[in-house]
Amino acid sequence: MSDIIYTKVDEAPELASASLLPIIQKFAKAAGVSVGTMDISLAGRILAAFPEHLSEDQRQSDDLAELGRLVKTPEANVIKLPNISASVPQLVAAIKELQSQGFALPDYPETPVSNEEKTVRAKYDAIKGSAVNPVLREGNSDRRAAKAVKSFAQANPHRMGEWTSDSKTHVSSMSGNDFFSNENSATLAKAAGAKIVLETSAGEIVLKEGLEYPAGTVVDATFMSAAALKDFLIKEIEKTKEEGILFSLHLKATMMKVSDPILFGHAVKAYLAPVFEKHGDKMAALGVDPNSGLGDLLARVKDEAEIMADIDACMADRPPMYMVDSDKGITNLHVSSDVIIDASMPALIRAGGKGWGPDGQEADANCVIPDTSYAPVYDEAINFFKENGKLNPATAGTVQNIGLMAQKAEEYGSHPTTFEIPETGTVKMILDDGTVLHQHAVEAGDIWRSSSARKAPIEDWVNLAISRQKAEDCRAIFWLDENRAHDAELISYVKPILEAQGLTDKFEIMAPREATRASLETITKGENTIAITGNVLRDYLTDLFPILELATSAKMLSIVKLMNGGGLFETGAGGSAPKHVQQLVEQNHLRWDSLGEFCALGESLIFLADAKSNDKARILGEAVETATQGILDNGRSPSRKVREPDNRDSHYWFARYWAEAVAAQTKDAELAAHFEPIAKDLAAKEADILSELAGVQGAPVDLGGYYRTDTAKTAGVMRPSKTLNGIIG
């Protein structure tokens, strides 16, 4: 096993790896550090799941499973780049591409009937959504802006949209019968097995059995009423039309891979309600599934003139929709993975509450977030900026995050204990001793879910928060609502630990709405705060605040301190990666910023130095920090425009600054002597290297695929400088 594992992923981060990884491997080798790769890409995971359908030379090892074992050991040192959390349309597209490349994979069964189809569907469903992160995150999250990144953002503030007090932009959520209002939660006094059943008038349906929970586990159960959701969506569509603003839906169908695609489908049906009422049977016969989005629907009915005419008439009568791409007519409801709440809402807030409409103009929007669990965060942020105006990045403090996520904590809506209820009845979670832990009366179509958080990860999360507060000596808030069932159980863990250590005066406990305002007030004054949150809020806040503070969440330092002693170093968010790939293919310009990778690399090397007493690795890690500062201070980050410096240029400068920093240090003469000629060579040949990199831009390129690119073609595109390649090898 290599000393450091650098993950193979998808889209823009993986393209950037083709340029950056050879540099990392060459430099690390000088310190006796090996850097290997393991494939957690969507295509790689698909191939690993179906070895029986592939020839011997096509088969791929299950690297995700192997990494899942590694992160439970003290030896783990993994740099994890953002991977695709696939929606069904993305999964289907990846399968089709792999089939076109000669892999005899089975189709994705949309309506499995036979046992074989059900088995295939189960394998594919295990791949979609946030399938990677729960496997690798055997620790809790420590996310914060690296000091160099924050200092640069303050010295070079990004543009913010203007907020006005009369903005019509607002958040709309259900007033009841949602996941928040129906939630029950309990902490198990002893280890227990459990099953989930649906009791109906016709008998009992077993939804899930064989569940096992250790003592001290917080176990939740809740549901959302489909009828209430339908009524809510219809009312919001009408209200949006009356207000004359954009209709927008904000979900996370990638992370909440079971629940949120269903919610998304309800919105598609509500928006086109007259069409479904008139043509529902015909559309079903054509294979229309509203959960797959408006884009898939239009593709299936495009030859049905009457249906298309009714769709056009319906959409003309509806409020204008928030657009993903106005020029191409791609709406908020086209694909569930196109509008992801933790990216879409911060972008809208940063823009002064404006979204793009179908006319290509910015407008206010009704931000529809059906469940009220976390919607108040965005609602309060919008209210705050309406009252106070935009945030000033030049003077703003920072919000760090400590997130509970170890051992699949709080896997809401993606866990295999989330179900669309087939019949009216009562869902019960029954322990092995016969105790009914939770029960809900439900109707057909309701969405029922359960999640859990184990004792050890919760205690580790609290103690990690304590250590970070001590290190930062700043305000620290547990974002927990005592009036929410789950949060009340967590508070019963938090308070005794703080009291036992005499630290109750160092921490506050607030519901998400109040914590949002308190945090915004704090950073507006130029001060810092730590948000200590559960899993979903960790995801949301580590996009919201960095996008406001830094203009991007891709430059965050993201450290997962694995509970068994290893380290997982994440490199930022990949939400904008598809657009980056599109630009590369069309213009041979990759604007992906690898700053997150630089930050993670430095932390990984220093962690390795401590774990293996490798002083050379420490010097390399410290030099990475110097090189990262050099990238920022000298404006060497990628430009968004073709024929200007891009990702490949930034890698040249990173290699040069890194080599110069190692050559200049005096702690290790051998390392300095090794890197001195490399640094001189990179500097002396600057003009040739930059000319070769610039010379390829402007023309389309062929990567040999999207989800599974051709290795040689990708290397040719991402390493076009023969001079740089001659130095790096």
Left if phi > 0, otherwise alpha if psi is -120 to 50, otherwise beta: which for 102? left
For the ranges 34-38, 327-331, 652-656, the lowest mean pLDDT is seen at: 327-331
Alpha helices in 374-429 (DSSP H): 375-388
Whole-number pLDDT of residue 705: 97
Radius of gyration of the chain (CA): 26
Q: Is the backbone of residue 277 left (phi > 0), alpha (psi -120 to 50) or beta?
A: alpha
Q: At residue 220, what is the residue type?
A: D
Cα torsion 388, 393, 394, 396: sign: positive
Query: What are the distances in angstroms from CA 153 to CA 147, 196, 539, 635, 729?
Result: 10, 50, 22, 12, 34
Residue 567, amino acid = G
**Please, what sign has the CA dihedral across residues 223, 225, 228, 233?**
positive
Dihedral-angle region of residue 371 (phi above 0 means left; psi in -120 to 50 means alpha; beta otherwise): beta
Convert the pLDDT of each residue in 133-179 to its tens digit. Answer: 888 989 999 999 988 889 889 999 999 999 999 999 999 999 999 99
Q: What is the pLDDT of residue 575?
A: 55
C-alpha to C-alpha distance for 240 and 245, rounded to whole angstroms: 6
The pLDDT score that the predictor gives to residue 447 is 98
**What pairing do the DSSP bridges indicate for beta strands 365-368 and 170-172?**
parallel
Domain ranges of the chain: 225-392
Q: Are 184 and 438 in contact (CB under 8 A)?
A: yes
pLDDT tens figures, 688-697: 999 999 999 9
User: Per 3-state DSSP, what percentage of the chain is helix, strand, and coil (rounded to 5)?
Assistant: 45, 20, 35
Mean of pLDDT values over 548-575:
86
Q: What is the pLDDT of residue 574?
A: 59
Report H helices in 168-250.
Answer: 226-243
Q: In the predicted model, what is the mean pLDDT of the chain?
A: 95
State residue 643's pLDDT score: 97
At 359, list the tokens.
């006319």
pLDDT given at position 345: 97
34 band by pLDDT with thresholds 50, 70 and 90:
very high
The strand pairing partners of 218, in sequence order, are 187, 453
The terminus-to-terminus CA distance of the chain in angstroms comes to 23
CA dist 118 → 42, 86, 106, 108, 153 (Å): 20, 19, 12, 10, 51
Strand partners, 186: 219
Q: What is the DSSP string of 126-160?
A: TTSBS-SHHHH--EEEEEEE-HHHHHHHHHSPPP-
SS3 for 492?
A: helix
Query: d(Cα 194, Cα 220) in Å, to the nearest integer?
Result: 13
Q: Which residues contact residue 506 at a Cβ distance below 8 angstroms, ignoring those fewer than 6 apart?
A: 466, 469, 476, 498
* pLDDT tens by residue, 704-726: 999 999 999 999 999 999 999 99
Which pLDDT score, from 0 to 100, does residue 414 have? 73
Chain-centroid distance, C-alpha 719: 28
Q: In the predicted model, is pLDDT for residue 548 greater than 60?
A: yes
Confidence of residue 576 (pLDDT cuts 50, 70, 90): low
- 546 within 8 A of 553, measured Cβ to Cβ: yes
Q: Could you read off the pLDDT of 184-242 as tens digits, one per residue?
A: 999 999 999 999 999 999 999 999 999 999 999 999 999 999 999 999 999 999 999 99
